[in-house]
Amino acid sequence: MSMTLPRKVRMVEVGPRDGLQNEKAVVPTAVKIALIERLADSGLTVVESGSFVSPKWVPQMADTEEILAVIRRKPGVVYPVLVPNMKGMEAAEAATGVEEIAVFAAASESFSRRNINCSIEESVARFQPVAERAEKLRWRVRGYISCVIDCPYEGAIAPAAVASVAEKLLAMGCYEISLGDTIGTGTPARAQAMIEAVAAKVPRDRIAVHYHDTYGQAVANILASLELGVAVVDSSVAGLGGCPYAKGATGNVASEDVLYLLNGLGIETGVDLDKLASAGRFISGALGRAPAAGVAQALAARA
Ligand code: HMG
Ligand code: MG
């Protein structure tokens, strides 16, 4: 391989949020809490734990406040939540123990409308006071961008469009920009072209990748991203998830698959594969299905 891979990677677990937000059946709050605690116990240092969004839009996340009030927090682990506007920020402030939030924009106008009911420009304007308030509170703000490769409504998205949104989120104070292949259509060459465009505006150590695995390309895309110096990878235990506003999008890349890849490359994460897979079996059992992931299934067959 031509470029040196990072020595360490930070895995950002998004299963309890990105995964569970898409479940049709109600997932009991106690199950979500147990999942979050198990994920933190596996050595993950970031476990995204919910969203302060409209419960009419995303009913699954309506118990975020309750979850934050009850979870046993492990020192050294952060439990970020999504915040789309000042109303969400007020809810986050009223909740227990928030120290990091994420705002979420899109690189496609149509997706922005469907997901958060406003244009890209309006979304950035809505995030501005959220970021300012967060700065006063000394909370960290992460910025997501959806549809960085393709949009379910518009098709291919220009890398320059992604870079332009990334630059705005960075200027607003986001410490990291997570690039979301929301519908999982990306392949390594397109992922690299997109990352290079973003890296012209955003330092590489502030870039994270967030691949959905709809077409089974996520692990390949992650390797291609690591080759470009990206060292933060979002994933979802047991491959949970999808996006309610992106028809046909399946789950995020499974955390077990990502960790198996990173272990194989000798890249440090601090995460224990057996404990992570056990958390995956726990939530899959609670949802009444097998884990989506190749690695998780292989380990389950062995367990
Ligand atoms: P809106 O309807 O345009 O907002 O929704 P509004 O300001 O006009 O308010 C309408 C109603 O919503 C009012 O209530 C507000 O109080 C309420 P009503 O008077 O009708 O009873 N409201 C809220 N309630 C709770 N919390 C709030 C909030 N804001 C307004 N924060 C809004 C705009 C953004 C709220 C809405 O579109 C929404 O909640 N969308 C959900 C978006 C979402 O959660 N999507 C999934 C996460 S993003 C994702 O998965 C992608 C990612 O994984 C990366 C990738 O893969 O691409 C991150
Ligand atoms: Mg996502």
Establish if 140 belongs to a structural domain. yes
Closest ligand 1 atom, residue 83 Cα: 31
Look at residue 1 and tell me if it is in a domain.
Answer: no
- 203 beta partners: none
CA Rg, the chain, in Å? 17
How many structural domains is the chain composed of? 1
In a domain, 5, yes or no: no
Q: Which atom of ligand 1 is nearest to the CA of 106?
A: 57
Average pLDDT over the chain, rounded to an integer: 95
Ligand 1 pocket check for 269: Cβ under 6 Å: no
**Residue 168 domain flag:** yes
Which of the four pLDDT bands, split at 50, 70 and 90, describes residue 291? confident
Residue 249, pLDDT above cutoff 90: no
Residue 200 alpha carbon to ligand 1 centre in Å:
31
pLDDT at 183 over 90: yes
Whether 60 is in the pocket of ligand 1, judged by its Cβ within 6 Å, is no
**Which residues have their alpha-adjacent CB atom under 5 A from ion ligand 2?**
18
Whether 2 is in a domain gets the answer no
Atom of ligand 1 nearest to the CA of 178: 54
Mean local confidence (pLDDT), 233-257 = 83
CA of 227 from ligand 2 middle (Å) equals 22
- The CATH number given to whatever domain includes residue 242 is 3.20.20.70
Q: How far apart are CA 104 and CA 112, in angstroms?
A: 9
> What is the average per-residue pLDDT within 85-91?
98
Q: Pick 160 or 22 by higher pLDDT.
A: 160
Is the pLDDT at 1 greater than 60? The verdict is: no
Phi, psi of 3 (to 5 degrees): -105, 150
Q: Judge whether 267 and 8 are in contact, CB under 8 Å.
A: yes
Q: Across residues 167-177, what is the average pLDDT?
A: 98
Q: How far apart are CA 28 and CA 10, in angstroms?
A: 29
Q: Is 112 in the pocket of ligand 1 (CB under 6 A)?
A: no
Asked if residue 221 is part of any domain, the answer here is yes
pTM of structure: 0.96
- Helix/strand/coil for 195: helix
Instruction: Indicate whether residue 119 lines ligand 1 (CB < 6 A).
Output: no
Pocket probe for ligand 1: among 18, 54, 209, the residue whose CB has the most ligand atoms within 8 Å is 54
The answer to the question of residue 77 being in a domain is yes
Residue 3 inside a domain? The answer is no
81 close to 102: Cβ distance less than 8 angstroms: yes
User: Is 245 a residue whose pLDDT tops 70?
Assistant: no
- Residue 123 CA to ligand 1 center (angstroms) comes to 11
Which contiguous run of DSSP H or E holds residue 211? strand 207-211
Establish whether 147 is a catalytic residue.
Answer: no
* The predicted structure's pLDDT at residue 24: 86
CA distances from 253 to 62, 92, 197, 292 (A): 24, 27, 23, 9
Under DSSP, the state recorded for 5 is P
- Ligand 2 centroid to Cα of residue 246, in Å, is 10
The whole-angstrom separation of Cα 142 and Cα 128 is 13
What's the 113 CA to ligand 2 centre distance in angstroms? 16
Quickly count helices (H) and strands (E) in the chain. Answer: 11, 11
Which residue segment(s) compose the domain that 173 sits in? 10-302
Stretch 251-263: mean pLDDT, rounded?
Answer: 96
81-106: average pLDDT: 98
